[in-house]
Amino acid sequence: MKSYLFPILGSIEELVQQERQMPTPAYGQVLVRMRAASLNYRDLTVARGRLPRAKTVDLVPLSDGAGEVVAIGDGVTRHVVGDRVAGLFFQDWAGGALSERMAASALGGPVDGVLTEYRLFDEDGLIEIPDHLTFQEAATLPCAALTAWHALFGGARTLLPGQRVLLLGSGGVSLFALQFAVLAGAHVIATSSDDDKLVRMRDMGAQETLNYREQPEWGRIIAERGGVDHVVEVGGAGTLPHSMQACRFGGAIHLIGVLTGGQIDPANIMRRNLLLEGVNVGSGEMFAGMNAALRAHRLHPLIDRVFSFDEARDAYHYFAGTRGMGKVVINIS
Under the banding of pLDDT at 50, 70 and 90, the label for residue 258 is low
| Eight-class DSSP state of 86 | E
Kindly report the three-state secondary structure assignment for every residue of 199-243: HHHHHCCCCEEEECCCCCCHHHHHHHCCCEEEEEECCECCCHHHH
Give Dmax over CA atoms of the chain in angstroms: 61
Give CA separation, 153 vs 146, 258, 330, in Å.
10, 21, 29
First-to-last alpha carbon distance for the chain, in angstroms, is 11
Backbone angles phi, psi at 101, to 5 degrees: -65, -45
The answer to whether 201 and 264 are in contact (CB under 8 A) is: no
pLDDT at 260: 54
- Rounded to two decimals, the pTM is 0.96
What is the chain's mean pLDDT, rounded?
95
Q: With 90 as the cut, is the pLDDT of residue 161 above it?
A: yes
Strand, coil or helix: 187 = strand
pLDDT at 265: 75
**CATH code of residue 263:** 3.40.50.720
Asked if 269 and 189 sit in the same domain, the reply is yes
pLDDT at 53: 80
Residues 164-197: pLDDT tens digits?
Answer: 999 999 999 999 999 999 999 999 999 999 999 9
Asked if 155 and 235 sit in the same domain, the reply is yes
Which residue range(s) make up the domain with 168?
146-278
User: 159: closest CA among 180, 179, 174?
Assistant: 180
Asked if 165 and 218 sit in the same domain, the reply is yes
Structural domain count of the chain: 2
Asked if 217 and 174 sit in the same domain, the reply is yes
228 Cβ contact partners less than 8 Å away, ≥ 6 residues apart: 163, 164, 165, 166, 189, 222, 246, 247, 248, 251
Asked if 156 and 304 sit in the same domain, the reply is no
58 Cβ contact partners less than 8 Å away, ≥ 6 residues apart: 5, 6, 7
The answer to whether 208 and 190 are in contact (CB under 8 A) is: yes
Give bridge partners of residue 196 from the DSSP assignment.
none
